[in-house]
Amino acid sequence: MQTLTIIQPDDMHLHLRDGEALKAVLPFTARQMGRAVIMPNLKPPVASVADALAYRARIEAALPEGSTFEPLMTLYLTDNTTPDTVREAKAAGIVAFKLYPAGATTNSDSGVTDLFKLIPVLQTMAQEGILFLVHGEVTDPEIDIFDREAVFIERVMKPVLEKVPALKVVFEHITTADAARLVMEAGENVAASVTPQHLLLNRNDLLVGGVRPHHYCLPVLKRESHRKALVAAITGEKAHKFFLGTDSAPHAQSAKENACGCAGMFSAATAIELYAEVFEAADALDKLEAFAAQNGAHFYGLPENPHTLTLVKETQLVPPKVPFGEDEVLVPMRGGESVGWRVRYAD
């Protein structure tokens, strides 16, 4: 039986929610990942150092006994963020600020309305060596939803990189050949996280045969040509600039399957197995370890995890539903279907 042992991965883009929902989903990530960069788009958002430290304490309290998992905390960038906030965050061990353009995705109502007014804040991030995580979409209603990432690159990303050339940027959950090309052509201060859904699925998987609400995420799934471009990027000459970031985003089944159409896919239940499928299909399993466990750590200035994880080439059934807080369930990515790899856990 084929096995693959790699350094324990990190998830560089994770949503954990809070309260009972947090307690329900955290064990999936804590079992596979050594660390995760925790997104700050709670209600209300995690916008101050005090907020982040309190949230970290709640995450640590919800961890399974004996877990060595480490949450890496971020702050939600708002129109009111100041350079002093950046300096305070750096001193407190916050790893990054996250840009949500106002109205771009789940719980983004408090997001930034004009990033260019925050150039002094970005300059302070560059000076302090704190990362800038970017949800890269414009929100203009006249821009087609499938074009919002590409337009963001021209209108926002390139001008910001010109104005603050030393800024360390993660282009989050990239979905297009345009974004992959930007990252590959930019300096070593620019990298990107890539989700399993954008590597495995295209927009046909969302729309053909009827709308599949559990495949709806933001940024939305794109054309097959873009999916192929992402796979080529993470396995190509500039592969060191791309790393694992699931964007695993749990929503209750009742919220996904109604007129709300909540955006997000919960992939944490079988995250590394899904990525293994991608690299296997690309005949690049030898590059999975770097993508999952080294590239992100190096970009964040972190040591590699001291533990390993072993994958076995063995089909497993993904649970059709998992508990999600009080009287709720959620449907994981590939729920009720199979994935071609399994993690060999000690228990």
Which residues fall in the annotated binding site for Zn(2+)? 13, 15, 98, 135, 173, 247
Residue with tokens 């369930």: 329
Binding residues: 13, 15-17, 41, 98, 135, 173, 218, 247, 251, 263
Binding residues for substrate: 15-17, 41, 135, 218, 251, 263
308 by Cβ neighbours in 10 Å (0-12 / 13-18 / 19+) ranks as exposed
Give the separation between CA 185 and CA 238, rounded to whole angstroms: 9
Sheet containing 242-244: order of strands: 10-14, 35-38, 70-76, 96-99, 131-134, 169-171, 190-194, 242-244
Sequential DSSP letters for 147-216: GHHHHHIIIIIHHHHHHSTT--EEETT--SHHHHHHHHHS-TTEEEEE-HHHHH--THHHHTTS--GGG-
Give φ, ψ of 290 to 5 degrees. Answer: -60, -45
Q: Kindly name the residue from 10, 11, 178, 247 that is annotated as catalytic.
A: 247
Active site residue 247: yes
Relative to beta strand 338-339, strand 316-317 is antiparallel
Residues 6 or more apart whose CB falls under 8 angstroms from that of 340 comprise 273, 276, 277, 280, 313, 314, 315
Query: Mapping DSSP to helix (H, G, I), strand (E, B) and coil, where does residue 141 land?
Result: coil
Query: Mapping DSSP to helix (H, G, I), strand (E, B) and coil, where does residue 240 land?
Result: helix
Q: Which residues are identified as catalytic?
A: 247
